[in-house]
Amino acid sequence: MTRRHFLVEGIVQGVGFRPFVHRQAARLGLSGWTRNTAAGLELELEGPAGALDELLHVLRTAPPPLAVIEGVEVQDLSPTGETGFAILPSREGAAATLISPDLAPCAACLEEMNDPHGRRYRYPFLNCTDRGPRFSIIRRLPSDRPATTMAGFAMCPDCAAEYGDIASRRCHAQPNCCPVCGPRAVYLDAGGNPRPGDPVAEAQRVLNLGGIVAVKGTGGIHLACRADSPGAVARLRRRKHRPEKPLALMARDLSAAAALCSFDETEAALLQSPRRPILLLRKKDPAGQHWLSATTRLGVMLPYTPLHILLLDGTFGGPDLVVMTSANRPGCPVLTDNKDALAALRGIADGFLLHDRPIANRCDDSLAMVWRRATVFFRRSRGYAPQPILLDRDVTGVLAFGAEQKGSFAAGRGRHAFVSQYIGDLKNAETLDHYRTALSTTLDLFGLSPAALVCDLHPDYASTREAEEMARKLHLPLRRVQHHWAHMAACMADNRLTGPVFGLIWDGTGLGEDGTIWGGECLMGDYRTYRRVGSIRPVALPGGDVCTKEIGRIALSLAADAGCPESAPDFPRRAGVAALLGSLLPSPRSSGMGRLFDGVYALLTGRTDANYDGQAPALLEALAEGAEPADVYTSAFYEEDGVRFFDTRPLIRALCAAKAAGTDPAALAAGFQQALCRMALDQCTALNPDRLPVALSGGVFLNLALLEGVTTLLEGAGYRVYTHQRVSPSDEGLALGQLAIAAAGL
pLDDT of residue 586: 87
Provide the whole-model pTM: 0.92
DSSP 331-351: TSPPP--HHHHHHHTTTT-SE
Buried b (16+ CB within 10 A) or exposed e, 559-581: bbbbebbebbbebeebeebbebb
pLDDT above 70 covers a percentage of the chain that reads: 99
730 pLDDT band, cuts 50/70/90, is very high
Provide the β-strand partners of residue 73.
7
Closest among 732, 739, 119, 83 to 366, alpha carbons compared: 732
More confident of the two residues 624 and 447: 624
How far apart are the C-alpha atoms of 181 and 175, rounded to whole Å? 11
pLDDT of residue 141: 80
Residues with Cβ within 8 Å of residue 167, at least 6 apart in sequence: none
Provide mean pLDDT across the span 40-64: 93
316 pLDDT band, cuts 50/70/90, is confident
pLDDT of residue 499: 83
pLDDT in tens, 524-568: 999 999 999 999 999 999 999 999 999 999 999 999 999 999 999
The amino acid at residue 268 is A
For residue 569, what is the enclosing H or E element?
none
Helices (H), 264-344: 265-272, 306-311, 338-344
How far apart are the C-alpha atoms of 701 and 614, rounded to whole Å? 12
How far apart are the C-alpha atoms of 654 and 129, rounded to whole Å? 62
pLDDT of residue 172: 87
pLDDT in tens, 153-177: 999 999 999 999 988 999 889 999 9
Provide mean pLDDT across the span 362-378: 97
How far apart are the C-alpha atoms of 488 and 500, rounded to whole Å? 11
pLDDT in tens, 283-300: 999 999 999 999 999 999
126 and 177 Cβ atoms separated by less than 8 Å: yes
Provide mean pLDDT across the span 64-70: 83
How far apart are the C-alpha atoms of 227 and 223, rounded to whole Å? 12
How far apart are the C-alpha atoms of 399 and 451, rounded to whole Å? 8
93 pLDDT band, cuts 50/70/90, is low
Peptide bond into 358 cis (omega under 30): no
pLDDT above 90 covers a percentage of the chain that reads: 88
Query: Domains along the chain?
Result: 2-87 (3.30.70.100), 185-355 (3.90.870.30), 388-493+729-745 (3.30.420.360), 533-722 (3.30.420.40)
34 and 22 Cβ atoms separated by less than 8 Å: yes
pLDDT of residue 280: 98
pLDDT of residue 447: 87
How far apart are the C-alpha atoms of 23 and 485, rounded to whole Å? 50
Provide mean pLDDT across the span 396-415: 95
Whole-number average pLDDT of the chain: 95
CA 436 vs CA 336, 408, 432: distances in Å: 16, 10, 6
47 and 28 Cβ atoms separated by less than 8 Å: yes
pLDDT in tens, 142-157: 788 999 999 999 999 9
How far apart are the C-alpha atoms of 309 and 315, rounded to whole Å? 11
Neighbours of 181 (CB within 10 A): 16
371 and 708 Cβ atoms separated by less than 8 Å: yes
pLDDT of residue 96: 61
For residue 320, what is the enclosing H or E element?
none
Q: How far is CA 160 from the centre of its chain?
A: 36
97 and 324 Cβ atoms separated by less than 8 Å: no
The amino acid at residue 680 is A
- Look at residue 225 and give its three-state secondary structure: strand
Provide the β-strand partners of residue 103.
132
How far apart are the C-alpha atoms of 397 and 520, rounded to whole Å? 32
383 pLDDT band, cuts 50/70/90, is very high
504 and 695 Cβ atoms separated by less than 8 Å: yes
How far apart are the C-alpha atoms of 723 and 741, rounded to whole Å? 18
- Look at residue 270 and give its three-state secondary structure: helix
DSSP 508-550: S--B-TTSSBP-EEEEEE-SS-EEEEEEE--EE-TTGGGGGT-
pLDDT in tens, 178-213: 999 999 999 999 999 999 999 999 999 999 999 999
pLDDT in tens, 231-251: 999 999 999 999 999 999 999
95 pLDDT band, cuts 50/70/90, is low
Burial class (CB in 10 A: 0-12, 13-18, 19+), 28: middle
Q: How many CA atoms lie within 13 A of 94 on its CB side?
A: 4
Residue 329 clears pLDDT 80, i.e. is over it = yes
DSSP 423-434: -B-TTSHHHHHH
